[in-house]
Amino acid sequence: MSETVLIPCSSCDSDHIESMKMLGRRGSRPGFKKRCSECGLSTNLYLNVEDAITAWNRRPREDALKAKVAELEKRLRPYLDAEEQLGMDLANMLIKLHAAQMQERR
Ligand SMILES: [Zn+2]
């Protein structure tokens, strides 16, 4: 078997990834999986070690989620900027109003 690098856990970033060989007792099927010994995140069960390694290193769902988050952040940016600007405008208005009220009282 070739040397294979396992990427750190996607959940806790740990490098402690263990191989587990499941014996398949009591009706469950035998196979291999990779499991993070820190947080317990694991792959599904595979018939051979290589497939378990491939599964551990492949994160299609995460990649898709990251792309979606990036897209949403990009679309949200103008609204966040507008909100921030509105907040600053409002704060400035309140400061001016307060100053005007203070002047009237004199
Ligand atoms: Zn972990």
CATH of the domain at 43: 2.20.25
Residue 17 CA to ligand 1 centre (angstroms): 8
Domains identified in the chain, total number: 2
Residues 105, 53: one domain?
A: no
- Model-level pTM? 0.53
Confidence of residue 3 (pLDDT cuts 50, 70, 90): low
Over 80: is that where the pLDDT of 48 sits?
Answer: yes
Residues 44, 73: one domain?
A: no
Average pLDDT over residues 41-46: 94
Residue 28 CA to ligand 1 centre (angstroms): 25
Dist CA 81 CA 31 (whole Å): 52
Residue 26 CA to ligand 1 centre (angstroms): 28
Residues 8, 51: one domain?
A: yes
Residue 13 CA to ligand 1 centre (angstroms): 6
Residue 15 CA to ligand 1 centre (angstroms): 8
Residues 6, 18: one domain?
A: yes
Dist CA 86 CA 83 (whole Å): 5
Q: Please write the tens of the pLDDT for every residue from 54-80.
A: 999 987 777 888 899 999 999 999 999
Dist CA 70 CA 64 (whole Å): 10
Domain carrying residue 75: 59-106
Q: In sequence order, what DSSP letters do the residues of 9-63 get, joined into one string?
A: PTTT--S-EEEEEE---TTPPPEEEEEETTT--B---BSSHHHHHHHHH--HHHH
Residues 42, 65: one domain?
A: no
Confidence of residue 4 (pLDDT cuts 50, 70, 90): confident
